[in-house]
Amino acid sequence: MFSSGYMLLAGAIMLVSMFVSNKLKSKFAHYSKLQLRNGLSGAEIAEKMLADHGIRDVEVIHVKGMLTDHYNPMKKTVNLSEGVFSQRNAAAAAVAAHEVGHAIQHAKGYKWLQMRSKLVPIVSIASKFSQWVIYGGIALMAGQGAGLGQNILIIGLIMFATGTLFSFITLPVEYDASNRALKWLRDKNMVSQEEFAGSQDALKWAARTYVVAALGSLATLLYFLKYLNRGRRN
| Per-residue pLDDT at 109 | 96
| Per-residue pLDDT at 140 | 87
Residue 48 near residue 40 (C-beta atoms within 8 A): yes
pLDDT-flagged residues of the chain (< 50):
none
Q: Mean pLDDT across the chain, nearest whole number?
A: 92
Residues with active-site annotation:
99
Predicted model pTM: 0.89
| Per-residue pLDDT at 143 | 73
| Per-residue pLDDT at 220 | 92
Domain extent, residue 98, equals 4-233
Q: How many domains does the chain have?
A: 1
